[in-house]
Amino acid sequence: MIRKELQVMSLANYIYRIKASINLKGQQFCSEDVSMIARSSKANNFQQEEACLAHIDEFPNGQCLPLPDGISESALFSFLRSVCAVGEPSPEVVQRYCEDHFNRIVFTYGLIKGLKGKCLELGSAPYFITMLLKQFTDLELVLANYFGQRYAGIYRENAERVCPLEISFENPRNHMKEYIKTEFYQFNVESDMYPFSDSEFDVVLFCELIEHMQMDPIYALMEMKRVLKPNGVLILTTPNANRIENIIRMISGSNIYDHYSGYGPYGRHNREYNVHELMTLLEYCGFSIDSISAIDTTNVSAWEDPIIKQLEPLLGEKEHSLGKQIFIRAKNTKEARRKRPAFLYANYLPEELENFKLPEKEDVINEPSIAFIGDWHDLELWNSTPTRWIGPDASLHIYSEQNRSTKFCFKVLSFYSQRNLEVRFGEALIAKYEVPTSFINVCEAINLSAGANELRLHVREGCERPCDKPELKNTDSRCLSLAIQEVTFS
């Protein structure tokens, strides 16, 4: 039964070289190529589509898929459609799910192909990716699901929460019906401690599950980080909240949210994410993004909808982030932050939240790959100009697709009296400024590295509260140091 509430998360690893933050519109894979086809313009789209279609079988969707060696698309489809957990009460539902998600499943396999070592597949039911990996990779698989407290599984006597599993399938090579006996761990990924040792796995698969989380995705990601080896690979896939279909539905007056599910609260999408949110969330949890893409996984293009045709001039450069499905490969490379980011969590005690915010639509900076960290106060408009006060320490988290040189500029003034500002990039002090109580322009050259960068603004004198200045007759209790406007990177 396809019950995401009953699953604990799944996915795999990487082989395709997916450029960070690229591609959405009609992007496809080819089975004879080990790089993702980047389709960044309409003119390029047509030529690459022809090249792609030259390699595919005449089968269901006409997309170019990263097939396992020596098997046709139609044979792979028949194999996956035959996969069924023994005792499954609704095999026809499983088959329909396979038909609807075939391309996404095979794209996911393309990210896994070639990986070695021990792999934890969270949310392994309904076992399509499981069987792909067992048949066509050398990974040592450990399966995990969550079927709720009512699940009457047979646990081992040592209470390891391990349940037996038997899967039937049609062997893709000889077309004979076969069975495999295996097992899966049963636990809730966003509340239970995972029953594994630290640094036990080379790969963790977290596919089509983060959108079902209803309480604490940070906890789930921290547990994945714990059981991954240093530099271990996390593969995450999820529907894109900003997919073009959702834009069409909203403009048409339809609701984009999921129905209530008879499978319970985990049976629906409780919180979907866009590309930048996932980049920010994974970096926050100590993962380095190797690749991230928003891909159309079906052959039906929403870009041909008349509504979108009218909106294309407005969508402009955002096309790369509007694909239907998000695919991410990240590595466990650094320390995680210890609180919860304010851009995703609310109604916690102040000491439990970290002021990690994403820019608003019109903000002091209009760069989607940048987040505010630390002492940034809420957005204000000063004569229609977006402005933010900062406290004694405020940082910008900057994600760059490649190594590049840029000029960082902004306008700044000091609250009440002159203050000394230190600008730090990483661990290096790159500039000092005496900031008066009127705006001055600041510009510094910096060299961004591919991946995450942090630029810190430190005020040596700290901050002061307007309410502590009787002459101001102001009840504002915020601690203010500098006001920032018009941040740019060029």
pLDDT in tens, 447-463: 998 888 889 999 999 99
pLDDT at res. 150 = 61
The predicted pLDDT at position 205 comes to 99
Q: State the pLDDT at residue 64.
A: 79
For residue 177, the Cα-to-chain-centroid distance in whole angstroms is 37
Distances (CA, A) of 233 to 1, 136, 196, 399, 439: 29, 19, 16, 19, 46
Task: Say if pTM beats, i.e. exceeds, 0.75.
Answer: no
Peptide bond between residue 126 and the one before it cis (omega within 30 degrees of 0): yes
State CA 188 to chain mean position distance. Answer: 20
Contact 444, 490 (CB under 8 A): no
Q: CA 71, 128, 193, 272 torsion: positive or negative?
A: positive
Concatenated DSSP letters of 168-224: EEE-TTT--EEEEEEEEEE--TTTSPPSS-TT-EEEEEEES-GGG--S-HHHHHHHH
- 78 touches 172 (CB < 8 A): yes
Q: Tokens 């900031």 appear where?
A: 435
Tokens representing 311 are 């909106």
Q: Which residues of the chain have pLDDT under 50?
A: 1-62, 152-158
Q: For residue range 9-56, list pLDDT tens digits in order.
A: 222 222 222 223 333 333 333 333 322 222 222 333 333 333 333 333
Strand, helix or coil at 474? Answer: coil
Task: Give the torsion sign (CA, 142, 148, 151, 154).
Answer: positive
- Domains with residue ranges and CATH for the chain: 4-332 (3.40.50.150), 355-489 (2.60.120.260)
Residue 463's closest CA among 440, 482, 437?
482
Q: Which amino acid is at 418?
A: Q
Please report how many Cα atoms fall inside a 13 Å half-sphere around the Cα of residue 174, on the Cβ side: 3
Token readout for 378 is 């809420």
Q: Are 235 and 108 in contact (CB under 8 A)?
A: yes
Going by C-alpha positions, the residue among 27, 10, 4, 26 that lies closest to residue 291 is 27
pLDDT for res 89: 64
Q: Is the Cβ–Cβ distance between 145 and 135 less than 8 Å?
A: no
Write out pLDDT tens, residues 181-210: 999 999 999 999 999 999 999 999 999 999
Q: Please report the DSSP string for 160-181 in residue order.
A: --EEEEEEEEE-TTT--EEEEE
Residue 489: count of CB within 10 angstroms of its CB? 19
Q: What angle do CA 89, 94, 201 make, to 5 degrees?
A: 105
**Residue 125: how many CB atoms within 10 A of its CB?**
25
Helix (H, G, I), strand (E, B) or coil at 80: helix
Structure tokens at 425: 């990039």
**Residues contacting 470, CB < 8 A, separation 6+:** none
Measured CA to CA in angstroms, residue 442 lies from 61, 253, 411 at distances of: 54, 45, 6
Evaluate whether 84 touches 42 at the Cβ level (below 8 Å): no
Query: Do residues 275 and 321 touch, judged by C-beta distance below 8 A?
Result: yes
pLDDT for position 31 = 31
